[in-house]
Amino acid sequence: MNIKSNKSIFLADDDADDCMLFEDALREVCTSTELTTANDGVELINLMESNVPPVPDIIILDLNMPRKNGFECLDLIRKTKQWKDIPIIILSTTGQEEMIKKVYEQGASYFIQKPGSFMKLKQAISQILDIDWNNHHWKPALKQFNYQY
């Protein structure tokens, strides 16, 4: 079975253009992946609490969002029993080492700095989808945590 198939991804990002770009890149990488978007952290948590759609296979979080930012969402998700094992990928414009270290310590699964090109975004998404998260129970070292394209 193709690891990329039939995944459910929740994307929380307040930038509508970034959401559209992510969706376009995702569709080119894998058409069978279901994407649900939230405009901020409050909307993301509300979606997850409603269980419609079902709990995602992967959560993609922007850090800088209004109402509830990525750090707050990450913290809440990791402290919630039924969500704590969902892979969380941070996709952010920041490349600051202290921010990367903070989300690493908070329990994020992977960090990707928002790429400057559509092709690099597709590569990053492909990398995320290639990981078999069901059998990926180890945490990478901090050096391997930050995706380099």
Q: Residue 47: which domain range?
A: 8-147
Point out the residues of the chain with pLDDT beneath 50: 1-3, 149
Are the beta carbons of 69 and 39 closer than 8 angstroms?
no
Is 45 inside a domain boundary?
yes
Residue 149 to residue 146: CA distance in whole angstroms? 10
pTM of the predicted structure, to 2 decimals:
0.86
User: Would residue 1 count as lying in a domain?
Assistant: no
The answer to whether residue 2 is domain-embedded is no
Please check whether residue 12 is in contact with residue 60, taking contact to mean a CB–CB distance below 8 angstroms: yes
Cα 45 to its chain centre, rounded Å, is 14
Residue 77 lies in a domain: yes
Residue 126 lies in a domain: yes
Domain membership of residue 60 (yes or no) is yes
Q: What is the pLDDT of residue 143?
A: 60
> For residue 101, what pLDDT is reported?
86
Task: Compute the distance between CA of residue 43 and CA of residue 109 in angstroms, rounded to an integer.
Answer: 21
Into how many domains does the chain fold? 1
pLDDT at residue 74, rounded to an integer: 93
Measured between its terminal Cα atoms, the distance across the chain in Å is 26
Instruction: Determine contact, residues 62/68, Cβ cutoff 8 Å.
Output: no
Which residues have a Cβ under 8 Å from the Cβ of 77 and sit 6 or more positions away? 48, 59, 83, 84, 86, 88
Task: Check: CB of residue 110 under 8 Å from CB of residue 89.
Answer: yes
CATH number, domain at 24? 3.40.50.2300
Question: 33-61: per-residue pLDDT in tens?
Answer: 899 999 999 999 998 888 666 788 999 99
Q: How high is the pLDDT of residue 1?
A: 38
Residue 131 placed within a domain: yes
